[in-house]
Structure 1
Amino acid sequence: MQDLPRTFPGHPWLDTPEGHASLRRVLVAYSFRDSDVGYCQGLNYVAALLLLVMKTEEEAFWMLAVLLENVLVNDCYTDNLSGCHVEQRVFKDLLAKKCPRIAAHLEAMEFDVSLVATEWFLCLFSKSLPSE
Structure 2
Amino acid sequence: MARPMFSKVDEYGFERPENFNYQLHAEFMEKYMHILVKRGLRWATLKGKNKYARGNKLKRFIRKGVPIDLRPTVWMQVSGAQVRKENNSISYTDLKKNIGNPALIEMIKIDLPRTFPDNINFISQEYLIKQMFNVLATFAHQNSEVGYCQGLNYITGMLLLATKNEEVSFWLLKELVENILPKYSVTNMSGLLVDLDVLDELVKKFDPEVHRHIQKIGMPWAMVTTKWFICLFVEVLPTETVLRIWDCIFYEGSKIIFRVGLTLIKLHKVEILRTKELSELIACFKEMRNHKEVVDCHQFMT
Question: Shorter chain as normaliser: what TM range?
Answer: over 0.9
Q: CA deviation at 1:109?
A: 0.5
Residue segments in structure 1 that go unaligned for 5+ positions in a row? none
**Aligned with 2:138 (options 16, 19, 29):** 29
8 Å contact from structure 2 (residues 204, 211) kept in 1: yes
Aligned equivalent of 1:41: 150
Instruction: Determine the C-alpha separation between the residues in 1 that align with 2:148 and 2:235.
Output: 17
Aligned equivalent of 1:122: 230
8 Å contact from structure 2 (residues 146, 187) kept in 1: yes
Aligned equivalent of 2:65: none
**Aligned with 2:221 (options 106, 113, 118):** 113
Instruction: Determine the C-alpha separation between the residues in 2 that align with 1:101 and 1:90.
Output: 17
**Cα deviations across residues 35-68 of structure 1 (Å, max 9, x unaligned)?**
1101001111111110111131000001111111
Instruction: Determine the C-alpha separation between the residues in 2 that align with 1:81 and 1:15.
Output: 31
8 Å contact from structure 1 (residues 120, 127) kept in 2: no
After TM superposition, the score normalised by the length of structure 1 is 0.93
Count of paired positions? 131
SS in 1 for 2:123: coil
Question: 1:29 corresponds to which letter in structure 2?
Answer: T
After TM superposition, the score normalised by the length of structure 2 is 0.42
Question: 1:55 corresponds to which letter in structure 2?
Answer: K
Q: CA deviation at 1:130?
A: 1.6
The structure whose residues are more often helix, as a share, is 2
Aligned equivalent of 2:111: 3
Instruction: Determine the C-alpha separation between the residues in 1 that align with 2:202 and 2:123.
Output: 37
Question: 2:113 corresponds to which letter in structure 1?
Answer: P
**Aligned with 2:127 (options 18, 31, 37):** 18
Aligned equivalent of 1:70: 179
**Cα deviations across residues 48-106 of structure 1 (Å, max 9, x unaligned)?**
1101111310000011111112211x211001111110110111111111111111001
8 Å contact from structure 1 (residues 7, 15) kept in 2: no
Instruction: Determine the C-alpha separation between the residues in 2 that align with 1:106 and 1:15.
Output: 39
Q: CA deviation at 1:10?
A: 2.0
Q: CA deviation at 1:32?
A: 1.4
Identity among equivalent positions (%) equals 39
Residue segments in structure 2 that go unaligned for 5+ positions in a row? 1-107, 241-302
Q: CA deviation at 1:127?
A: 2.1
